[in-house]
Structure 1
């Protein structure tokens, strides 16, 4: 069997592509802002995530939004071994645990 997708490294993220994550919607009852912020974290390099967080907050969205378990994206990222750079970006945007 062969892979159906090739792994892409060092993909270029244009400003429009980063902004497009403001349109991400959840397929369940998860808070839309929480879902888009988590998806951006999961998909972007830290430098692109930092741009996204700027667009996110300029759009009036709350970096302290929560999921159904009252977890913030920062609380989830803080549990990841390689999440510190992303957590620092959220903290500088006003996120707290």
Structure 2
């Protein structure tokens, strides 16, 4: 049996424009657009890129305390996830 001996390496460097493009994403239903952007970014970005997104997000006047469909904001949601400290710090 082969043993997995290497960690994933992320070599992609995301440009500011790529990260800012997440600000243009919109939900399909009636989900809060600000919550949606943060949630999608959390799912697809490494912590450093997420922190950059949050800076652009705040500069655009968006709401980091927006509530999602489950009645929780991103801080509450992230506090339930292991290894999310860097993401929480960005908010």
**Structure 1: stretches of 5+ with no match in the other structure:** 1-6, 91-97
Equivalent runs, 1:30-69 vs 2, <5 Å:
30-69=31-70
- What is the CA deviation profile of residues 35-56 of structure 1, one whole-angstrom value per residue up to 9, with x for unaligned ones? 0011111111111111100100
Report which of the two structures shows the higher radius of gyration computed on alpha carbons. Answer: 2
Aligned to 2:4: none
CA distance in 2, matches of 1:10, 1:82: 21
Partners of 2:55 and 2:20 lie apart in 1 by 10
Which residue in 1 is equivalent to 2:22? 21
Change (3 A) 1:85 1:8: closer
| Paired residues, number | 84
Determine the structure 2 residue equivalent to 1:72. 73
Consecutive aligned runs of 4 or more in structure 1 exceeding 4 Å deviation: none
**What's the TM-score once normalised by structure 2's chain length?**
0.85
RMSD of aligned Cα (Å): 1.6
